[in-house]
Amino acid sequence: MGDVAASGGYYIAAPADTIVAEPGTITGSIGVIGGKYSFKGLYEKLGIHKEILKRGEHADFYTDYGDYPLTEKAIVQKQIQEIYDDFIEKVALGRTGLTVEDVDRLGRGRIWSGRQAKENGLVDELGGLSLAIAIARERAGLGEKSVEIVEFPKKTWMSELLNTLGFPFVSLWEGFVTPNSFENSDMEDRGVGTKSRLQFITQYGGLSTTARLLNIVRKHRLFLLMPYHITVGN
């Protein structure tokens, strides 16, 4: 486990035969929270009124225009308790020597350092990736054979480039930019015109420069880039 293995992170790790954590890994947070936001007071301050028409007693269960009534609070609490019980049961099943009661005592949202987690049985070994690989190699009977580390999701040249350029919406761009992204034929095939694509690029942060760079980098492995660009408008 890396810097943080809390809640869902520990849920994933719990069934492992051996759990390795750094001494400072934030571990645990075995717990569940639930609820909703109520913006009724804010709406009233803004002069906004909502009228809710519903069919069924709990049809407006998740509305943001009011708190849960007592009956629905009980429903939410029951759901949270069921999920929490399942959580601690799965951890106990994966952690030899810990009962459900033990996990509950260590759980309830508490967090531990990796060192503390080893002391209380939530972690088996203290170390990093190298130790985890060594343990996995030994269990697989690979001896001293070299191993290949495969990262998921796999990184692409585009994600690396966009990260370098400081553009966070990598997955969105990978869907928008292809080798023919700026040709009418490709756009028409997807039912989206070139003009609308370029409008999208320009609208979200003036990204037309980034789009041009993507086209350039597809054709040239190396290029020189000035620290500024010139835009001529009407």
Per residue in 51-103, pLDDT (tens digit) is: 888 888 888 888 888 899 899 999 999 999 999 999 999 999 999 899 999 99
- How many domains would you assign to the chain? 2
In this structure, the answer to whether residues 15 and 92 fall within a common structural domain is yes
pLDDT tens digits, one per residue of 134-166: 999 999 898 888 888 887 777 776 666 666 655
Domain boundary among 112, 140, 168: 140
In a domain, residue 70? The reply is: no
The runs of H, that is alpha helices, within the chain are 8-13, 40-45, 70-94, 100-106, 114-120, 129-140, 157-165, 170-176, 184-189, 194-203, 208-219
Read off the pLDDT band of 231 (50, 70, 90).
Answer: low
In a domain, 42, yes or no: no
Same domain, 89 and 13: yes
Among the three residues 106, 140, 174, which one is the final residue of a domain in this structure?
140
Q: Does one domain contain both 130 and 177? A: no
Tell me if residue 130 is catalytic.
Answer: no
Identify the band that residue 169 occupies on the pLDDT scale cut at 50, 70 and 90.
very low
Q: What is the CATH number of the domain that holds 129?
A: 3.90.226.10
Last residue of a domain, one of 114, 140, 166: 140
> 206 — phi, psi (to 5°)?
60, 50
3-state SS of 11-25 is HHHCCCCCCEECCCC
Alpha carbon 99 to its chain's center: 30
Whether 124 maps to a domain, the answer reads yes
Same-domain pairing of 166 and 109? no
In this structure, the number of other CB atoms found within 10 A of the CB of residue 141 comes to 7
In this structure, is residue 117 part of a structural domain? Answer: yes
- 105 and 199 share a domain? no
Do 104 and 165 fall within a single domain?
Answer: no
Same domain, 116 and 207: no
| Residue type for position 68 | Y
If asked whether residues 121 and 166 sit together in one domain, one would say no
If asked whether residues 10 and 117 sit together in one domain, one would say: yes
Residue 108 lies in a domain: yes
Question: Does residue 83 fall inside a structural domain?
Answer: yes
Q: What is the pLDDT of residue 57?
A: 87
The active-site residue, picked from 7, 38, 113, 208, is 7
User: 163 and 210 in contact (C-beta within 8 Å)?
Assistant: no
Decide if 231 is inside a domain: no
Q: Can you tell me the mean pLDDT for 13-17?
A: 94
Within this chain, do residues 125 and 175 fall inside the same structural domain, yes or no? no
- Indicate whether 93 and 208 sit together in one domain: no
Q: What residues make up the domain containing 84?
A: 4-32+75-140
Domain match, 134 and 195 both: no
